[in-house]
Structure 1
Amino acid sequence: MATFLYARVSTTEQTLHHQRTQAEASGFTFDHVIADHGVSGVTVKMRDRPEGKRLFDMLRAGDTLVVRWIDRLGRNYEDVTDTIREFMRRGVTVRTIINGMVFDGQTKDPMAAAVRDALIGFMAAMGQAQAEATKEAQRAGIAAAKAKVVEGVPAYRGRKPSFSGLHVKQVRELEAKGMGVSEIARTTGLSRQTVYRIKEDPAGAETALATWNLMGEPAV
């Protein structure tokens, strides 16, 4: 029986170090630490993440999976609930650092199982709702900032892209050839997080380049 820590690091504030330190402060020790970096919990299913797939392959009956909170597994209701139920069917116990929740498939009492499943569904739905609310707030804030013009130049342009128009074209071509994210990153010299960003929203990537007048310019 082994204990795993799974961390999904989607922003600079959600570091692996922070999630591991918080887990250890709560009394957990680990045989394996597995982390996906720069992966959206909304659009990329657990099984489709490089390390998420490896976690599925490694977990065995009697193992314990520790996550900071359910949203580290993802922010898509169906994917998160399916993932937890699959782990429980395998005999894996899922534990959260925040709130100390424990989910397993040991109970045979139908009422207890119903309460457990309802709680899983509620937490998964909350994670998706929070992600959608955050995205909507960001869209509203960006729209408001774009509406403000300072000396004829939009006040908001977002972060300067670390990629070029050529990079966007390369990513789309390599993806069409069936190449994985890690291989695309090595081929183009981009980070995996940047590759994911371009894959998920190529139109947005091109818009960012156009906003900074970087279409066709080399990356910096």
Structure 2
Amino acid sequence: MAVYGYARVSTVSQARDGESLEAQTRQMSAYAASRGLDLPPDNVFVEAGVSGGVEFQCRPEGGRLYGLLQPGDLIVFPKLDRAFRNTRNALNVLHELRERKVHVHFIDLGGDVTGNGIGAIVFTILSAFATFEKERIATRIREVKQMKKAQGKFTGGRRAFGYEVVDSVKVPKPDEQAIIAEMRALRTGGASYRDIGSWLGEQRKLTFSPMGVRHILNEAR
């Protein structure tokens, strides 16, 4: 029987600083020792800078570990959210590993979640909560971006035509605003978005698709 450990951090800064990875590795080593298990350093797979939203088998180290596992092997995870942030993937992987007779231990869940019914129930419930937490964080990020946008702040991506970014705030760019005013006048006069795009190319040496023209005029309202 081989014993493996798996640690993961989702951001580049966490991977660079290494604190979280070292803490997870120490935790798994201590857990293995307390259970009389031999967890060699070479058997600890470290996933650095990979989101938990990526399915376990699709991660570089997760996929490599998944392919190595044999019947009777054991994996130690420090926490549920280090392994999964997606309930469907979590349950599918757990089911497949159980079928392959691989034991899965989560330290934060008290140990083996494949060897008894109670552990599997707890795993199912907490996997759902992990997914909920991920969705809640994503919603919060969207709300913050919407609030910043309403305040006229730059939220990332390409600079909008007609504006420049000064100290993270969108500020009107006079020369481009003048062009937008001409575009608006053409539109009011009955020109199509395609016509305005052609005019921009011929008169202002700017290339915009009809949809791009529409976006500029809508954003400039």
**TM-score > 0.5, shorter chain as reference:** yes
Structure 2 SS opposite 1:66 = strand
How much has 1:59 moved relative to structure 2? 1.1
The residue number in structure 1 matching 2:82 is: 72
Q: TM-score, normalised by structure 1?
A: 0.60
Larger Rg, first or second structure (1 or 2)? 2
Q: Which has the higher contact order (CA 8 A, sep 6+)?
A: 1
**1:9-88 to 2 correspondences below 5 Å:** 9-11=9-11, 12-13=13-14, 15-28=20-33, 30-31=39-40, 32-42=43-53, 44-88=54-98
How much has 1:92 moved relative to structure 2? 1.4
How much has 1:94 moved relative to structure 2? 1.0
Structure 2 SS opposite 1:6 = strand
Do the aligned partners of residues 25 and 117 (structure 1) sit closer, same or farther apart at CA in structure 2, a change above 3 Å counting? Answer: closer
Do the aligned partners of residues 39 and 19 (structure 1) sit closer, same or farther apart at CA in structure 2, a change above 3 Å counting? Answer: same
> Structure 2: which 5+ runs fail to align?
166-221
The Cα offsets for residues 136-166 of structure 1, whole Å up to 9 and x where unpaired, read as: 11221232233334xxxx2x54xxxxxxxxx
Q: What is the aligned-residue RMSD (CA, Å)?
A: 2.5
For the Cα contact (< 8 Å) 1:5–1:33, is it kept in 2? Answer: yes
Q: TM-score, normalised by structure 2?
A: 0.59
Runs of 4+ in 1 over 6 A off after TM superposition: none
Count of matched residue positions in the alignment of Structure 1 and Structure 2:
151
> Structure 1: which 5+ runs fail to align?
106-111, 158-206, 214-220
The residue number in structure 2 matching 1:187 is: none
For the Cα contact (< 8 Å) 1:4–1:65, is it kept in 2? Answer: yes
Letter in structure 2 aligned against 1:19 = Q
Letter in structure 2 aligned against 1:4 = Y
CA–CA distance in structure 2, aligned partners of residues 46 and 63 of structure 1? 17
Give the % identical residues.
Answer: 29
Do the aligned partners of residues 23 and 209 (structure 1) sit closer, same or farther apart at CA in structure 2, a change above 3 Å counting? Answer: farther
For the Cα contact (< 8 Å) 2:112–2:119, is it kept in 1? Answer: no
Q: Does 1:121 align with 2:124?
A: yes
For the Cα contact (< 8 Å) 2:5–2:45, is it kept in 1? Answer: yes
